[in-house]
Amino acid sequence: MLPIQPPCIPKYFDFSRKVKTPHNAHLFSRFCLSWEDGLWHVLKVHAIPKGSVVLVPSFFCWDVVKNMQQHGLVHKVYAVDKNLQPIEAEFIAQLKQWKPAVVIIFHSVGITNNLFKNPSKWLPFVSIDALIIEDSVHRVVDSSRISFITKNHYVIDSLRKVVPIQGSWMYAGHRIPKIPVSVSVRTVWYRVLILFWWLVMQFFLVLVYYSRASSIEKKGNTLAELAMLRGYEAVGVHLQPSPGHSIMAFLSRKIALQKNFSIKKKQALRYAERLQSCADSKNFFFISMQASDAQELRGFPLGIELRVADDFLAYLREHTLSVRFELNDSIWSSRQKIVYLPMGLHVQDTEIDSVCAIILQYGKS
């Protein structure tokens, strides 16, 4: 079956694509090794002192929170509802109480965060010097559509989660200083390690994609997942920020953006139609979203009630569907679980139908 991570195959790229740099006179960017490396760099640029409060959503990667603690930050949490949207009143209450130096606003699974619909409701409670980090790790960011709501608003993506490239773009409405050469030198081994695990993961993903052999599929997906997890463990642990690899920055400019958006929009609709009967199930729930968010999704989100979650995941993996509980270490995931069903240019309609058939069969069993 299918992994959630995309393999590095030609259809993800359009080498005839031309990107004007800068394409927006008020948009500046910097390429880092990962989302966390981008954050560490921003903290240094703004001289955020140790002991500062960072406000994070309850649906968030707790490995990142632990790394924040290593950087001297104190985390506070704001609640996120079952649809992965912040509870605005509680969010504002947390802003008033903690006066955070850093506010993380997460587009979970790629779904637009409602806080950006009317920021005038909560911005008055944010310190003028606070950093607003728009977490776009689950999106393929179209930089031409970025807008900023404060002078210290940053957008940071994570390419490895949504396309077959390693690295993260960081965007701001002002120039972002380069990571000093002396710091880059100290992180060389860290960059090599991250690249190594990414290459191992891609080797197995590409092998499975092109072989299409059942004898290779399960073992290859398992090894790809292990390499991915080893890479996840290593990302962000270095106390110094690291720049990304220049070849990855070049390839990111050649991603077939519109093709990617178009196929994901169609795939999300296909999942929704095929899984319609699950909407009334007591075991699953759908995450509500705007129609325009379909093209932004990392994968199709399927919510699972806690009482059946472990059994359901085991069932999927027995049928060689390489999904897992996403952000399983978060506070949100202690009350329910979520899996992302595979989407992207490497996924065929017939494979989506097969995934849906497995899920529907579980519902009948």
User: How does pLDDT run across 255-305, given as a tens digit for each residue?
Assistant: 999 999 999 999 999 999 999 988 778 899 999 999 999 999 999 999 999
For residues 264, 268, 269 and 270, what is the CA-based torsion angle, rounded to 10 degrees? 100
How far does Cα 190 stand from its chain's mean position? 21
Helix (H, G, I), strand (E, B) or coil at 160: helix
- Exposure string (b/e) for 203-229, b if CB count within 10 Å is 16 or more? bbbbbbbeeeeeeebbebbbbbbebbe
From the number of C-beta atoms within 10 Å of its C-beta (0-12, 13-18, 19+), residue 125 rates as middle
Higher pLDDT, 365 or 15: 15
Contact 78, 50 (CB under 8 A): no
Average pLDDT over residues 337-358: 95
Q: In the sheet where 300-305 sits, what is the strand order?
A: 284-286, 300-305, 336-341
pLDDT, tens digit, for every residue of 61-87?
999 999 999 999 999 999 999 999 999
Nearest residue to 136 (alpha-carbon basis) of 163, 103, 168, 88 = 168
Mind listing the pLDDT tens digit for each residue in 206-248?
999 998 777 788 889 889 999 999 999 999 999 999 999 999 9
**Most confident by average pLDDT, 3-12, 17-26, 32-41:** 32-41
pLDDT of res. 212 = 75
pTM above 0.75, yes or no: yes
Query: pLDDT value at position 360?
Result: 92
Per-residue pLDDT band at 144 (split at 50, 70, 90): confident
* pLDDT value of position 153: 97
Q: What percent of the chain has pLDDT over 70?
A: 98
Question: How far apart (Å, rounded) are the C-alpha atoms in residues 163 and 125?
Answer: 36
